[in-house]
Chains A and B, each alone.
Chain A
Amino acid sequence: MIECTNICKTYVNGDVETKAVSGISFKIDKGEFVAIIGPSGSGKSTLMHILGALDTPTSGTYVLDGQEVSKLNDDELSDLRRNKIGFVFQAFNLLPRTTVLRNVMLPLLYSDTTDEEREKRARLCLKYAGMEESKFLNLSNQLSGGQMQRVAIARALVNEPAIIFADEPTGNLDTKTSKVVMETFRELNRQGHTIILITHEMEVAEFADRVISIRDGVIEKDVKNVHEH
């Protein structure tokens, strides 16, 4: 599913070169639930941006679902994200003053699906993400944090992606809501979705089956989690 070989990313700021990721290689198979964990500044966010096709590596190869990503241009990256990737962000990133349904339908804009089809899919995904139907027409800014993240999860699901990336999805939520959201991810994984979770909290990473620890731009550990529950 995902295969990256010796990925490096260097940021140049004036004369200063910063190596955020220096030579990372791993494989992730279909249906896995992987947590990438590391302290801030470890390079995990940069890695996630590369894996999520939001950015391209300076060197190394990255193959997603049989497609070489590192050589794609801006529009091809957009198409790849649209067809294969769903994102859940820490800050939710919903369109303000816009209904829940419209937010979920956002990734389907400019595609050749009909309005009815889009709405049907959006409703299905919202239910899937555990959103109450009575709130589908509410404006996004009237929701609680937990509800917003459910809408964001539904939005990530709506284009039926091969992979879901969750970047600190519980960072803005309280402990109780975090737990519910993480249970939702577990459930999605159980139904066959491949999920990659980025976090700095070990408790959150516990929900995944495999934990890749990153420090100073390289992989420190890559271990399987044994779930008691």
Chain B
Amino acid sequence: MVAMDLLKETSSSLSSNKVRSGLTMLGIIIGIASVITMVAIGQGAQSSISDRIQSIGANLIIISPGAQRTSGISAGQGSSTTLTLDDATAIGSGVQNISGVAPEDTHRYQVTAKGNNTNTQVTGTVPSYTDVRNVAVDMGMFITEYQQQTSAKVAVIGPTVRDDLFGTDADAIGQTIRIKNIDFQVIGVTVSKGGSGFNNADNAIYVPITTEQHYLSGDTYVTTVGISAANATIIPAVQQDVTDLLLQRHGILDPTAADFSIMNQADIIATASSVTGTFTILLASIAGISLLVGGIGIMNMMLTTVTERTREIGLRKAVGIRKLYINLQFLIEAVMLTFLGGALGVVLGWAAALLVSKFASLTTQISLSSVLLAFGVSAAVGILFGFYPARRAANLSPMEALRYE
């Protein structure tokens, strides 16, 4: 009987004051929805940044030829031609804890096909390139060991090249492209990495490195050697071993005079983690401020509406309702408002995050923890400030409460 009465009394109290209940709930809805949406946008950005970094390669170490010095004048990093395919082979057989070595010889050429042409970077490389540089093949296949040994005139093209030469999403497998007036057969298209700008992995052509050296560049040098370490922790050790081996092969005694330079992904990750660290702080402050603003809004609504009802509480006491039941009624009202508003807020925040990713083409990522945090904080604030003033009013003598202005 008491439970039924409490339920009926709270629902009738909430529904007979639709504007008041609606406004209180609106505060809760906006508070929760804004936290969820903000955090979803922030986390989406964070995860897309780390995805981009991961797409560069797995535990990558990159060796570039050193600067060419003529009478003390440097021509810049990578200008000299000191790295060869043999160096790459020697690293592959002579250094421990390596999961892949991929020498690359990259030059820009004019490429034509079916009357279309484009200028793009052509990379001569080996089959292990896919593992070292995190390249995946969308259609067809990548260069095989056999094609590499036989200097086959085959090419794997990036999606941007495919779109430029054959039309958007056309089937390019088996088609012929001409690089430097030599025909290559297209055997595969890579998966888009979504890069853009000058060094775009989507705007590239991959051919066997032997083919590239025989028919295109005509020399035996490579522009970079990518090495994939077995795991992230041993990257420095592998880097040291590679340096020692190359110094020895090139007959250089002084490490500072090395004719090559080595860079590893840890450097990139260090930069990236400082970026994501800033992001985490940004996210936390956005969530914190949204929660604070939402919480204060909820607190205000609850305090005013409940304080406004002091006379009603006085009346209930005067007609002989025990203060326990008055407290319970207001507690249940606060719980109902915060939970109903909370649920709507979660739905609204979710929908807003989806709309943002659909129409503003921003990656969003809704996290359970942000939903729980937003819901938890607003429920706690709502219940506390809905219940506390009611409890205070129920403790007054009925006459004091009735006279309350």
Chain A residues in the interface with B (C-beta under 8 A): 49, 54-55, 74-75, 78-83, 85, 87, 89, 93, 95-98, 102, 106-107, 109-112, 155, 159
Whether A106 contacts B319 by the Cβ 8 Å rule is yes
Q: Which of B320, B398, B402 contacts A80 (CB 8 A)?
A: B320
A93-B402, A97-B16, A98-B16 known; A54-B397 Cβ under 8 A:
yes
B contact residues around A93 at 8 Å (CB):
311, 315, 318, 402
Contact at A79–B320, with CB atoms within 8 Å? yes
Q: Which residues of A contact B311 (CB under 8 A)?
A: 93
CB–CB B398/A54 < 8 A: yes
Task: Apart from A106-B316, A110-B322, A112-B1, list 20 A-B contacts with CB within 8 A.
Answer: A49-B399, A54-B398, A55-B397, A78-B321, A78-B322, A81-B319, A82-B319, A96-B16, A97-B17, A98-B16, A106-B321, A107-B319, A107-B320, A109-B5, A109-B9, A109-B321, A109-B325, A110-B321, A110-B325, A159-B319
Most buried by A among B2, B319, B398, B402: B319
Given contacts A97-B17, A109-B5, A112-B1, contact A79 B322 (CB under 8 A): yes
What is the minimal beta-carbon distance from A109 to any residue of chain B, in angstroms? 5
The one of B5, B9, B316, B323 in contact with A75, judged by C-beta atoms closer than 8 angstroms, is B323
B181 contacts chain A at the CB level, 8 A cutoff:
no
Q: Is the CB of A95 within 8 A of B320?
A: no
CB of B315, distance to nearest CB on chain A (Å)? 5
Q: Closest Cβ of chain B: how far from A124's Cβ, in Å? A: 18
Residue contact A78 to B320, C-beta cutoff 8 Å: yes
Residues from chain A with Cβ under 8 Å of B12 in the complex: 98, 102
What is the CA–CA distance of A37 and B102 in the complex, to the nearest angstrom?
Answer: 106
Residues of A within 8 A of B312 (CB): 95
Contacts of B264-320 to chain A: CB distance below 8 A: 311-312, 315-320
Q: A54-B399, A93-B402, A102-B12 are in contact. Are A78 and B5 (CB under 8 A)?
A: no
Minimum CB distance partner of A83 in chain B: B320
Sample (13) of A-B pairs whose CB atoms are under 8 Å apart: A54-B398, A54-B399, A83-B320, A93-B315, A95-B315, A96-B16, A106-B315, A107-B320, A109-B325, A110-B321, A110-B325, A155-B319, A159-B319
Interface size on B, residues (CB 8 A): 25
Give B3's nearest chain A residue, CB to CB: A110
Tell me which of A49, A98, A110 contacts B5 (CB under 8 A): A110
Q: How far is the CA of A107 from the CA of B399 in the complex (A)?
A: 17
Nearest-neighbor residue (CB-CB) of B2 within chain A: A110
B-chain residues with CB within 8 Å of residue A81 when the two chains form the complex: 318-320
Bound Cα distance A95, B329 (Å):
15
Identify which of residues 1-41 in chain B touch chain A, using a CB-to-CB cut-off of 8 Å. Answer: 1-2, 5-6, 9, 12, 16-17
Minimum distance in angstroms from B323 CB to a CB of chain A:
6
User: Which of A55, A82, A89, A96 meets B320, CB within 8 Å?
Assistant: A82
B318/A87 in contact, CB under 8 A: yes
Which of chain B's residues have a CB closer than 8 A to the CB of A95?
Answer: 16, 312, 315
Across the interface, name the chain A residue whose C-beta is closest to B1: A112
Assembly CA distance A160 to B312 (angstroms)? 22
- Complex CA–CA separation, A78 to B316 (angstroms): 10
Given the complex of chains A and B, what is the CA–CA distance between A81 and B314 in angstroms? 13
| Shortest distance between the CB of A103 and any CB in chain B (Å) | 10
A155–B2 Cα distance when bound, in Å, is: 20
| Complex A-B, nearest 4 residue pairs according to Cβ-Cβ distance, in ascending order | A82-B320, A81-B320, A107-B319, A97-B16
Say how far B222's CB is from chain A's closest CB, in angstroms: 83
Q: Which of A54, A96, A98, A159 has the most CB of B within 10 A?
A: A54
Say yes or no: A78-B317 contact (C-beta < 8 A), given A49-B399, A93-B311, A109-B325: yes
Residues of B within 8 A of A110 (CB): 1-2, 5-6, 321-322, 325
Complex Cα–Cα for A109 and B253 (A): 97
Report yes or no: A85 in contact with B16, Cβ–Cβ below 8 A. no
B residues near A75, Cβ cutoff 8 Å: 322-324
Report how far A36 CA is from B325 CA in the complex, Å: 33
CA distance A65 to B44 in the complex (A): 73
In the complex, A97→B368 CA distance in Å? 40
Instruction: Select from chain A the residue with minimum beta-carbon distance to B6.
Output: A110
Q: In the assembled complex, which residues on chain A have CB atoms less than 8 Å from the CB atom of B321?
A: 78, 82, 106-107, 109-110
> What residues on A are CB-neighbors of B319 within 8 Å?
81-82, 87, 106-107, 155, 159
